[in-house]
Amino acid sequence: MEADHSILVWAFFMAKDKKSFLLYADQQSVFKQLPDEIAGQLIKHIFSYVNDENPITDNLIINIAFEPIKLQLKRDLQKYESIRERNSANARMRWDAVASSGIPKDTKNADNDTDNVNDNDNVKSKVFKAPTLEELKTEFPNLDAQRFHDFYSSKGWMIGKNKMKDWKAAARNWLSRNEVPLKSQTFKKATLDD
């Protein structure tokens, strides 16, 4: 029980300002199999857990049903923290770019005039980071991640003559281009054989 308490304390400090959590559609089957009263107790248990109330129950069914949900919540929290840290690092990089472009960091020397000149002209654009196979598989489960990754990495993550800026948008476009033709080819082939 001591190990669970340390994990709970970790989650409490790490999720301090987190205002939401995810339940997944495939978790519905757990709720459907439970009587309404126990399903209600389970959802209350989940809300109590994500609000750091350290819920405890002697109901074996709730404990068993809650365990995989709790593990998913912990994975989601780790992913959330990873994204939060990445966004924080990106913000620091942007701030450093602004600071290195000659814009003062301190407010004593800040430009206080009211002209309409854009002081951010020298700020470098966001640096592209190629996705890992795991990121592709997680973000786009229907995507042939290996094929997408191989294709764009062989092109140096270029789209035409331009460096890729948003791999998620490229993956969505890849899916829309590569999934629809497969369905229409299957349909055409079936009609030709009839």
**Phi and psi, residue 158, nearest 5°:** -105, 145
- CA–CA dist 90, 120 (Å, integer): 16
User: What is the maximum alpha-carbon separation in the chain?
Assistant: 80
Buried/exposed 155-194: b ≥16 CB within 10 Å, e otherwise = eebeeeeeebeebeebbeebeeeeeeeeeeeeeeeeeeee
Would you call 116 helix, strand, or coil by DSSP?
coil
Q: What is the pLDDT along the chain (194 residues), one digit of tens a residue?
A: 344 443 443 344 335 667 888 899 999 999 999 999 999 999 999 999 998 899 999 999 999 999 999 999 999 988 888 898 899 888 888 887 777 765 555 545 445 444 444 444 444 556 778 888 888 888 888 888 888 888 888 888 888 888 888 888 888 888 888 754 444 444 444 444 44
- CA–CA dist 174, 168 (Å, integer): 10
Burial of 52 (0-12, 13-18, 19+ CB in 10 A): middle
The pTM score is 0.43
DSSP-assigned states of every residue in 173-184: HHHHHHHHHHHH
Which amino acid makes up residue 186?
T
According to the model, what pLDDT value does residue 103 have?
55
DSSP state of 112: -
Which amino acid makes up residue 194?
D
Query: How far apart, in Å, are the Cα atoms of 126 and each of 27, 87, 90, 92, 133?
Result: 37, 11, 8, 12, 21
According to the model, what pLDDT value does residue 29 have?
93
Q: In terms of DSSP H, where are the helices of the chain? A: 2-14, 28-33, 36-50, 60-100, 133-139, 145-154, 167-193
**Phi and psi, residue 143, nearest 5°:** -85, 140
Which structure tokens are listed for 38? Answer: 């126990």
